[in-house]
């Protein structure tokens, strides 16, 4: 409860400062709209349906692109972790391309696919896939081999070993890889929507883009607010439950650590 009060006080204060600054009249209201005008714009866009339509279009592109990216990235990440050769080749390639900001793929995509949904998807997949590969590769390398060894002595092998041991043992890195991928997919989709102006669907990024064309600052800021909120919500809904589960089971939560001394690995070597 106390946490909730502090959090809401913080954000209320932020809004109040913004409102006061815009009302002070030092800046043109065209460039610095008030909270109220942004809220009015959002309300209007909600009422006439453009906002929901934009959200739907954007989320659909995001989900499709993200799923393709994960479906390609996870197996390639496991492959990259499987040998030194694949690490040196595939791992290095992924690392190199991941450093390329995803907006750099836009000219490439437009030349290949034209102003189409395909171009949009291509940019999202390119933004997602490399970071998923890197996170998966790194994670798979850090699964302690003792789990598989212990399971095999108990008679676990083949499918049982993969589903009952390797999969749960790899949950921490799977979740961090998928989360990493999600963040990159979101960023690259916004870049793609702003730069690829197609008419088959009008997403949040395009709302932003036309806000600029129309000089409608309230629309620009409103779209930005919605983008931030969706990012936050996705994190809460998609990833937070998994992360809570992992923290509880693996004991990796920082706060829990402070309450109880961290569990030390026990390795006793008694030498006489």
Footprint of other proteins (CB under 8 A)? 146-147, 149-156, 160, 164-165, 168-169, 171, 248-251, 260, 263-272
Q: How many residues does the chain have?
A: 272
Nearer to other proteins, 65 or 172 (CB): 172
Helices 217-234, 171-195: inter-axial angle, 10-degree rounding = 160
| Shortest reach from residue 150's CB to other proteins, in Å | 4
Question: Which DSSP category does 153 fall into?
Answer: H
DSSP 7-65: HHHHHHHHHHHHHHHHHTSSS-TTTS--HHHHHHHHHHHHHTSHHHHHHHHHHHHHHHH
Nearer to other proteins, 3 or 260 (CB): 260
| Shortest reach from residue 180's CB to other proteins, in Å | 21
Nearer to other proteins, 13 or 164 (CB): 164
DSSP 97-140: HHTS-GGGHHHHHHHHH-SSHHHHHHHHHHHHHHHHHHHHHHHH
Nearer to other proteins, 9 or 150 (CB): 150
Tell which residue, 16, 55, 29, 61, has the closest CA to residue 223. Answer: 55
Nearer to other proteins, 64 or 151 (CB): 151
Residue 222 to residue 202: CA distance in whole angstroms: 15
Do 51 and 206 touch, CB atoms closer than 8 A?
A: no
| Shortest reach from residue 92's CB to other proteins, in Å | 20
DSSP 207-250: HHHHHHHTT-HHHHHHHHHHHHHHHHHHIIIIIHHHHHHHHHHH
Nearer to other proteins, 212 or 249 (CB): 249
| Shortest reach from residue 95's CB to other proteins, in Å | 23
| Shortest reach from residue 136's CB to other proteins, in Å | 18
| Shortest reach from residue 272's CB to other proteins, in Å | 6
SS3 201: coil
Nearer to other proteins, 2 or 265 (CB): 265
| Shortest reach from residue 252's CB to other proteins, in Å | 8
Token match 């961290």: residue?
A: 262
């Amino acid at each position: 409860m106390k946490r909730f009060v502090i959090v809401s006080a913080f954000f209320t204060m932020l809004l109040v400062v913004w409102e006061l600054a815009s009302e002070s009249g030092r800046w043109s209201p065209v460039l610095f709209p008030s909270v109220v005008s942004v809220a009015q714009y959002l309300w209007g866009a909600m009422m006439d349906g453009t906002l929901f339509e934009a959200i739907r279009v954007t989320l659909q592109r995001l989900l499709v692109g993200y799923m393709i990216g994960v479906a390609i990235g996870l197996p390639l990440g496991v492959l990259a972790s499987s040998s030194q050769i694949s690490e040196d080749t595939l791992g290095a390639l992924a690392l190199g391309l991941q450093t390329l900001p995803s907006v750099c793929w836009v000219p490439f995509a437009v030349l290949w696919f034209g102003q189409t949904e395909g171009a949009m998807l291509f940019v999202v997949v390119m933004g997602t896939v490399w970071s998923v590969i890197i996170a998966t590769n790194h994670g798979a390398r850090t699964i302690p081999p003792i789990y598989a060894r212990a399971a095999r002595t108990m008679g676990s092998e083949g499918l049982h070993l993969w589903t009952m041991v390797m999969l749960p043992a790899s949950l921490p890195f799977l979740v961090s890889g998928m989360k990493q991928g999600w963040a990159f997919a979101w960023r690259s989709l916004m870049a793609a929507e702003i730069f690829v102006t197609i008419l088959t669907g009008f997403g949040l990024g395009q709302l932003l883009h036309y806000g600029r064309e129309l000089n409608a600052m309230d629309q620009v800021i409103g779209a930005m607010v919605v983008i931030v909120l969706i990012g936050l919500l996705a994190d809460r809904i998609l990833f937070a439950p998994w992360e809570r589960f992992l923290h509880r089971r693996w004991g990796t939560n920082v706060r829990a650590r402070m309450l109880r001394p961290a569990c030390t690995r026990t390795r006793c070597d008694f030498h006489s």
